Structure formats: C-alpha cells, structure tokens
Amino acid sequence: MKRVLILGGTGDAAELAAKATNIPGIEVMVSLAGRTRQPKDVAGNIRIGGFGGVTGLTAYLRDEKIDLLIDATHPFAAQISLNAAASAAEVNIPALMLVRPMWERVIGDNWIEVESIEAAAQKLSDRTKRVFLTIGRQELAAFAHIEDIWFLMRMIDPPQPNTLVPKGLLLYDRGPFTLADERQLLIQHAIDTVVSKNSGGDATYAKIIAARELNIPVVMVQRPAIPEGDRVANVEAALNWLISHLR
C-alpha cells in the first residue's frame, strides 16, 4: 500500500480524497488545518490541526511513512504550501500541488487588482460606502480602522474573540452560491464595491458575475506566489498523477 497525504481544506481536496480512496493500493490520509469549526465530511483518515512548521511536517511524513504528498490547500494558504514543498524535498518523496485556475477578467468586469489584503483596504475610494467583504474571517482587522464604510462580511465561522471587526453585518454561510442569490444579496444591501480574493473555482464565482451584471467594481486580491514543483489544475489530473506513482 502507498500512503498518500492530502493537505486539504478545499472542495477540490475533498473530491480528490473521495475518489482516491477508491483506487486500489492507496491509503489516503487527509490533513485539515482546523480553521473551520464544522468541516464537510471528508473521506480517508483525517487529522486536524497544524504540524508545527517544516520541522513538524517533516517529522510527520517520516513517522507515518508517507509515500506521496498532495498539497490541495486554498490558493491563499501560502505558508503551508511552502512548508509542504520543503518537507517533501527533505524526505525525498514525490509531491504535487493541486492549484485551481485563477478567475480571469472578462468583458464587463470592473476589477481593481491589488497584491494584498492591506492594499485592498487602501484602494477603497472616498465614494465607497457599502462593501461586500468576502475574504474570510482571518483578515478582517485590515478594514477595522475604516469609519465611513459599512461592510457586509461573509464567512463560514464567526471571527475569533477579540478580533477587530469592521462596522457592518456578519453573514455566516458556505458556498456554493447561486447567481440569483448573489445578485439579490448585492441589491438588498445596496453594495457599491466587492472585495474578494482571486480564489478561483465555481463555488463562489457567482458573486463576480453578479457584480459584473450590476456594474459594481471588484477589488480583487491577487494570489501569493507558490513554490516551484509539479502542479495540476484539476482533480482528474491529480488522480492520474497518483496512479502513475503506483507503478
């Protein structure tokens, strides 16, 4: 049996784990960071929590005799991707990154592209009054100092206690979201600007389409750099990579 560790937390990771468990000769281990209080059901042997940096992950790969590593974390989880690449190199096992494609600007999109969450906060103009903030719960503090803007903040779980939170409304929900619902949400709350990470995928793209249809600008945070190495863009390609390493 080959033991594969999938670093998860995304829908792609869950789909990959479910399909990989059906491949003969593979034992699937899935690691979740534990940031979501009630994660969706995931196939395989699950562990929750961090590893303790490169040193901890390297030790885990050795102790658990992991043969293959697939990093299917969120595109903005830059640190774990760096750690995964370093640890796989340290123990000399094949590693793969499953990186879903970024959203691409199309005709009708009004995007203001920025390099970081902090830059997104700085880009909000004096004319901005009501913002749909869809960056998750961990980076809300970057907007908390803005006094004259109301924020609709959507996330899966509530912010941690003592987190600085901007003025506005917290909305707890989990995608996928329909275009009709996203359009209604923007209209209902009179949103004039959307702030989003360029996460890619279909689950949350409807908000981008709705903003396009309603001519609402989107402050789009670009992805951080990821390590060099083997990478694929979809689950089927990741499964093919797995199968190729069983020979």
Question: What is the dihedral sign for C-alpha 175, 179, 182, 185?
Answer: negative
**Mean pLDDT, residues 153-182:** 92
Question: Does the pLDDT value for residue 222 go beyond 70?
Answer: yes
**Mean pLDDT, residues 148-177:** 92
Query: How many percent of the chain have pLDDT more than 70?
Result: 96
Predicted confidence (pLDDT) per residue in 117-150, tens digit: 999 999 997 789 999 999 988 889 999 999 999 9
DSSP 8-state assignment for residue 34 = S
Identify residue 217 by its one-letter amino acid code: P
Distance in angstroms (rounded) separating the CA atoms of residues 110 and 91: 46
Question: Which one of 3.40.50.720, 3.30.390.50, 3.60.15.10, 3.40.50.620 gives the CATH number of domain 2-100+225-244?
Answer: 3.40.50.720
Predicted confidence (pLDDT) per residue in 228-238, tens digit: 889 999 999 99
SS3 13: helix
Question: Does the pLDDT value for residue 90 go beyond 90?
Answer: yes
- The pLDDT value given to residue 46: 85
DSSP E strands in the chain: the ranges are: 2-7, 26-32, 45-48, 68-71, 95-98, 111-114, 130-134, 150-155, 168-172, 193-197, 218-221, 231-232
**Mean pLDDT, residues 37-46:** 67
Cβ atoms within 10 Å of 187's Cβ, excluding its own: 12
pTM, full prediction: 0.87
Question: Does the pLDDT value for residue 12 go beyond 70?
Answer: yes
The CATH code belonging to domain 111-221 is 3.40.50.1980
Are 2-100+225-244 and 111-221 in the same CATH fold?
A: yes
- The pLDDT value given to residue 38: 52
- The pLDDT value given to residue 77: 87
Question: Does the pLDDT value for residue 197 go beyond 60?
Answer: yes
Predicted confidence (pLDDT) per residue in 25-40, tens digit: 899 999 987 555 555 6
Distance in angstroms (rounded) separating the CA atoms of residues 10 and 24: 24
| Domains of the chain by residue range | 2-100+225-244, 111-221
Confidence of residue 210 (pLDDT cuts 50, 70, 90): very high
